[in-house]
Structure 1
Amino acid sequence: MLNFKIHTATCIGNSSNCIYPNEVLVSDRDSFIKAISFDHVCGSFNGSYRSKDNFIKSDCIPMDCDNDHSDDPDDWVTPFDVALAFPGVCFFASYSRNHMKDKAGKSARPRFHVYFPIEEIKDADEYADYKVQIQAKFPYFDDNALDAARFIYGTSNPEVELYEGDLTVTDYLGRRKFEDLPILGSQIQEGSRNSTLSHFAGIILKRYGKSEKAKKAFLEESEKCNPPLDREELSLIWKSAISFYENISKQKGYIPPDEYKKVSWEKPLPFTGEKMPDFPIEALPKALRNYAIAVGKSTQTPVDMAAVGVLATVSACMKNLYKVEGKADWHEPTNIYSVIIAEPSERKSAVISLVIKPVDEYIKKYNQIHKVEFEMSKVIKQRLENKKNSLLSQSKKKGEDKTASEFNDEIRSVVEELVNFTESKPLKVYVDDTTTEKLTESLAENNNAISIISSEGGIFDVISGTYSSKVNIDVFLKAYSGENISVDRIMRNSIYVENACLSILLSVQPVVIGELMRNKKFRHRGLTARFLYTTPQSFVGKRTLESECISKDVYREYKELIDNILMEEKTGNTQIIKLSEKAKELLKEYFDWVEQKLVGEFTMYSDWLGKLVGNTLRIAGILARSSVIKKDVGDALLEEDSPIVIDEEVFSNACKIGKYFLVHAVNAYGDMGVRSDFKAALMVLEKLKEKELVNITRREVMRLCRWVGSAEEAQSILDNLEDYGYIRLSEIDPAEKMRNGRPKNVVYSINPSVLSE
């Protein structure tokens, strides 16, 4: 059989995915199973992005059969029928994820895919035309799946069959003029007798095997021939069908359709993904490291939460004071967008509250000390506004007399004073609940820098348009990169923000990230690629009432650093943090490493990976600033500090953190480790182990697990367990009354490995 290529995604059952970066060479049964275990396509596309316009080439034609043509089981076809319809043609077959399941209102029945290896085709129209010809020959194939960019869902524990042959399907189509199969009626006319009886012989052998019953049925069907075929001709047809049937049934891995229940069990796929790496806490400077560890112990949460939290907090405090120089014409700001992903009851709010505690204390103290200054500033501005308005009210009287020039000079003086006046306002480092328009105003009112820090993900609802159809996400895109923002407003003053700087720290539930990733607008415009994600392991169920409190010394050291950064004022140009020569060498190596990942195993995450080097530079800047307590800040009149430099050790630590975020980003872009619906399946599995059951029904799931609220929920759980190999369909009583196309109480066998684990 010809080898052929299948291109896979890194997900299963994701209809919104269009990226298929991983090429698998199919040369045998094992490589075929490996390929179809993930969502996949049978062609290569520009940028690995599936679409007809991006079609490059293919050496395999996939066809889909759901047996939707009839509800009579006797009319259903299997891959064996395909072999009979295309004698001598080689192909692989796999049973789809909905094989012998209800689907789209249709009862359970055989559903499968056929993969025909071919010589390479580089024209999408030619490729699609062959699919049309194949469907014309075997009309049971889905006529809605004939385009050149069709994808196929992956299947857990796929059941496959291999049909050897000397011909490709394109060879076969070229040698024969395909004709529709004759309808089996009262007579079989001359000219179609041999082909019709050959096809019937295959069907009857599939149904009854090599038996007298099968032969008797074949001979009865032959009596419909007009004129009759002689005994010798009938014998040749029957022997040919027997020979072909025996060859097929002897193939390695071949499983007759009626024997599926007897197939040996394979190891089920885990519902949980691989354990995410822990945050490299040793990479943080002492003050951040000690405090993150202390917060983790106090709240009994993984250190990842606090570690990401302190990084984001320092970033928020640094505002737009610094930039990191990658090279002479490349400078990165030090703001980062970060998200902590965890289920409810994981104490996300407690961690966020503790990491920003010194920021809140500083803001409160600062605003208390300067409250008179703020009020006086407001009064002075109001006085200037009143003076301007008073002069304008006199303009009609003085506009024409000899004092007009004096008046103009006077009002110009007031206007200039008002325009150049900078109102002192209370310090604001971050906001929680906001809108895109209000966020732009906050940037303008706070020296072009602000942060969003929240223990909820409500901001995603805002920017996705949940509360308004007129949402502009440009502020989030531009404020990440330090671009200028200009907003014209009707009936109000326009807003202009120069070199906008926004930092974000959120803690959200996995479902929120799932919705974020499914938002094509966010993905295509690069919003999701700007975030650094962390999915810490859960400590729920392992916590105790008593926990170690945060020591005063550890908190004091962290607070001193936060205060020191907040006391800095932007007196002129942004300060540039440079890399040492050794750090520059590391940057080059790191850049090359990321660049190879962009065209390798992480191609489908290229949007996020493309920003990793820049984000790592930002992290390096945060680490460098967190390593020093500056003396020339606030009201101190001490010696000037030396410039901050990112040395080899600091940049190496930043790289460790960057690689940590890469693994967690891949998890965030996927199914978030354990999906919420999988948790229900895991709970049912525990109940099956506890009861040591060998069979299960939907009704028993609802009886054993009282928290399952409906038959639909129970069936969804069973479907997940079946897809991942923990159970499989055991028996259906055809006499049972059907409900919505599904028997009332299907019986599933339980994988023996479930009880042995």
Structure 2
Amino acid sequence: MTAQVRHLAAVPVDQAAQGGWDIPVPVGSTSAAPPPFPLDVLPGWARDMVDAVATFTQTDPSMGAGVLLSTLSTVGARRLVVEGKPGWREPINTYVATVAAPGERKTPVHGAITRPLFQAQRQMADAIAPLVEQEAARRDIAQRVAEQARATAAKAEGDRRDAAVAEALAAVMAAEEIAVPTKPRLIIDDHTPEALVSRMAENGGRIAVISDEGGIFDTLAGRYSGNVNLDPYLKGYSGGHLSSDRQTRAGETIEDPALTVGVMTQPSALRKFGSNPELFGRGLPARFWFIMPRSLAGYRDQDSPPVPVEVEARYESTVRTLATTLADWDGPRVLTLTEEASRVRAAAAATIEEQLRPGGALSDMREWANKLFGAMLRLAGLLHLAHHPTDAWNRQISDQTMSQAAQVTGWLISHYQAAVALVHGDPAGETAHEVLAVLVAKQMTTFTRRELHRRVQRKLPRGEQVLAVLATLAQHGWVRTTAGGDYELHPAASTYINGTPNGR
């Protein structure tokens, strides 16, 4: 497994030397749009759905694959754990944030992949509804009896007082013993940290924050309070003891909580989240898998075929069955590795460890990369569940599945690198790169400032903004002025731009 670090497309020397041009310096982000998700690691029922949704919505398959990982995490969290080796067990819940600009069709992708989770949630709620109504009625009657007994005891005198008090106490205790079950929930959307803990406590220690918006990042940035409680997100990932102080009943402690986060957000929210020093210092961004799908805008087929009915039906049935089956379990089942899978895991882990050394491919992102050992096991558990949706808990994880998990881990690395480049990138350089792409697309090999301004007026409405971008491009060697005061474009610009994904 390699870190998949991208090297910018080199500018051919002979092309750069034409007309006395020097070799230019890249502008904007130095990381490429990462590769699409390797769909061949998925079984047919999942692969066909992700592929069909990507085709219909004309989006990068990575977008749907990220949502699929969150979906599998939702059904398997706190139900399955992976034993990497004796003494080390890893839960399979995940934190996934898919990052794409407005208009990139995040909502239809998210809706198609997560729909069976909501179906399963409604199915489970409908199944328990009669029992909820029955027990609620029993408790209401018992509470009324208790109130009457308390009133009688309060009025009793003499020899009857002790007996009446005993009857009242018994009636109160009988009412308290009637527990009205809560309707099971797999998913919540907008929430405070306190509400999140309450929902987890009500649902056996697990819940999923599933949303096609990035509201969780606003919450973590302190939308509800200036000092946000991060414990539910920190402990919800790794387990431990999580206390819940409720207004309606005594505080509870959740043993080994399992939180799943599967959200979609915009680049601006990622920049805000990733550059927050408090969140970074507490290690929260290091728990996320950031998915950076490529934009296909400008190249989309507006008459793409819909998701085949049989593909959708098979996918939704599989996820619903998984969700309802595992929901009935009380405790987690332990997934172990075959001997061959253990060797694959050890070899991949050794590669990661080597890349963490000073100067290694992962040394600059140690906070996040140190969690790759566990991430690889979580991926193995999710892929194992996908490949064996009817009996994964009765099988060991194979070497093939472990190899697939290592492959996806490499994919995650490339996406994290793109996320880091977005968070810490130079906005001026990004703008210059976009303008350079316009020059190439419009074949403006020679142009005036005013001609360029007409092309980019919406993005750069003021003339001084255009001059600033031209100065940046000139400093990097991509444009130069002519004797007549016009501008010339570097002859290698088209090679540089067209050799980068997303028109980059």
TM-score range, shorter chain: 0.7 to 0.9
> Which structure carries more helix by proportion?
2
> What is the match of residue 277 of structure 2?
520
Q: Secondary structure at the match of 1:346?
A: coil
Q: CA deviation at 1:607?
A: 0.8
The alpha-carbon distance between structure 1 residues 334 and 415, as it changes in their structure 2 partners (threshold 3 A), is farther
2:97 to 315, 339, 353: 339
> What is the match of residue 321 of structure 1?
79
1:311 to 69, 86, 89: 69
Q: CA deviation at 1:648?
A: 0.9
1:585 paired to 2:347: no
* Inter-partner Cα distance in structure 2 for 1:326 and 1:686: 47
> What is the match of residue 384 of structure 2?
624
* Inter-partner Cα distance in structure 1 for 2:493 and 2:126: 65
Partners of 2:27 and 2:476 within 8 A in 1: yes
* Inter-partner Cα distance in structure 2 for 1:438 and 1:688: 51
* Inter-partner Cα distance in structure 1 for 2:464 and 2:223: 28
1:415 paired to 2:173: yes
> What is the match of residue 501 of structure 2?
none
Count of residues paired in the alignment? 475
The alpha-carbon distance between structure 1 residues 286 and 719, as it changes in their structure 2 partners (threshold 3 A), is same
Q: CA deviation at 1:705?
A: 3.2
User: What letter corresponds to residue 361 of structure 2 in structure 1?
Assistant: E
Q: CA deviation at 1:592?
A: 1.3
* Inter-partner Cα distance in structure 1 for 2:434 and 2:373: 41
> What is the match of residue 534 of structure 1?
291
1:379 paired to 2:137: yes
Please say which of residues 267-276 and 474-483 is displaced more in the overlay.
267-276
> What is the match of residue 280 of structure 1?
38
Q: How does 1:340-359 map to 2 (within 5 A)?
A: 340-359=98-117
Q: CA deviation at 1:728?
A: 6.0
Q: Secondary structure at the match of 1:434?
A: coil
The alpha-carbon distance between structure 1 residues 603 and 401, as it changes in their structure 2 partners (threshold 3 A), is farther
> What is the match of residue 706 of structure 1?
457
> What is the match of residue 497 of structure 1?
254
Residue deviations 1:162-199, cap 9 Å, x none?
Answer: xxxxxxxxxxxxxxxxxxxxxxxxxxxxxxxxxxxxxx
> What is the match of residue 461 of structure 1?
218
1:718 paired to 2:470: yes
* Inter-partner Cα distance in structure 1 for 2:493 and 2:350: 48
> What is the match of residue 435 of structure 1?
192
Q: Secondary structure at the match of 1:470?
A: coil
Mark the structure with the bigger radius of gyration: 1
Q: CA deviation at 1:687?
A: 5.2
Residue deviations 1:207-230, cap 9 Å, x none?
Answer: xxxxxxxxxxxxxxxxxxxxxxxx
The alpha-carbon distance between structure 1 residues 304 and 571, as it changes in their structure 2 partners (threshold 3 A), is closer
1:576 to 334, 339, 354: 334
Q: CA deviation at 1:433?
A: 1.6
* Inter-partner Cα distance in structure 1 for 2:69 and 2:163: 58
The alpha-carbon distance between structure 1 residues 410 and 532, as it changes in their structure 2 partners (threshold 3 A), is same
User: What letter corresponds to residue 651 of structure 1 in structure 2?
Assistant: M
* Inter-partner Cα distance in structure 1 for 2:167 and 2:480: 90
* Inter-partner Cα distance in structure 1 for 2:106 and 2:87: 39
Partners of 1:314 and 1:622 within 8 A in 2: yes
Identical counterparts, % of pairs? 25
The alpha-carbon distance between structure 1 residues 582 and 669, as it changes in their structure 2 partners (threshold 3 A), is same
* Inter-partner Cα distance in structure 1 for 2:179 and 2:86: 34
Residue deviations 1:365-391, cap 9 Å, x none?
Answer: 333344333322333333444445555
Partners of 2:153 and 2:161 within 8 A in 1: no
* Inter-partner Cα distance in structure 2 for 1:353 and 1:642: 28
Q: CA deviation at 1:324?
A: 1.0
The alpha-carbon distance between structure 1 residues 722 and 377, as it changes in their structure 2 partners (threshold 3 A), is farther
Question: What TM-score does the superposition give when structure 2 sets the normalisation length?
Answer: 0.83
> What is the match of residue 502 of structure 2?
none
- Structure 1, unaligned runs of 5 or more: 1-9, 11-156, 158-261, 632-640, 732-746
> What is the match of residue 177 of structure 1?
none
Q: Secondary structure at the match of 1:567?
A: helix
User: What letter corresponds to residue 662 of structure 1 in structure 2?
Assistant: I
Q: CA deviation at 1:430?
A: 0.8
* Inter-partner Cα distance in structure 2 for 1:468 and 1:607: 27
Q: CA deviation at 1:480?
A: 0.7
Q: Secondary structure at the match of 2:491?
A: helix
The alpha-carbon distance between structure 1 residues 491 and 583, as it changes in their structure 2 partners (threshold 3 A), is closer
> What is the match of residue 752 of structure 1?
490
> What is the match of residue 330 of structure 1?
88
> What is the match of residue 56 of structure 2?
298
1:650 paired to 2:410: no
Partners of 1:324 and 1:578 within 8 A in 2: yes
Partners of 1:692 and 1:755 within 8 A in 2: no
> What is the match of residue 367 of structure 2?
607
Q: CA deviation at 1:650?
A: 1.1
The alpha-carbon distance between structure 1 residues 486 and 712, as it changes in their structure 2 partners (threshold 3 A), is farther
The alpha-carbon distance between structure 1 residues 712 and 389, as it changes in their structure 2 partners (threshold 3 A), is farther
Q: CA deviation at 1:654?
A: 1.0
* Inter-partner Cα distance in structure 2 for 1:538 and 1:263: 35
User: What letter corresponds to residue 106 of structure 2 in structure 1?
Assistant: K
Q: Secondary structure at the match of 1:671?
A: helix
Higher relative contact order (CA 8 A, sep 6+): 2
Q: CA deviation at 1:280?
A: 1.3
Q: Secondary structure at the match of 1:646?
A: coil
The alpha-carbon distance between structure 1 residues 399 and 418, as it changes in their structure 2 partners (threshold 3 A), is farther
> What is the match of residue 182 of structure 1?
none
Q: CA deviation at 1:349?
A: 0.8
The alpha-carbon distance between structure 1 residues 381 and 592, as it changes in their structure 2 partners (threshold 3 A), is farther
Q: Secondary structure at the match of 1:621?
A: helix
> What is the match of residue 162 of structure 1?
none
Q: CA deviation at 1:717?
A: 2.9
* Inter-partner Cα distance in structure 1 for 2:426 and 2:90: 35
The alpha-carbon distance between structure 1 residues 265 and 322, as it changes in their structure 2 partners (threshold 3 A), is same
> Which structure carries more strand by proportion?
1
> What is the match of residue 154 of structure 1?
none
Q: CA deviation at 1:483?
A: 2.1
Q: CA deviation at 1:409?
A: 7.1
Q: Secondary structure at the match of 1:544?
A: coil
Q: CA deviation at 1:752?
A: 3.4
User: What letter corresponds to residue 607 of structure 1 in structure 2?
Assistant: E
1:685 paired to 2:443: no
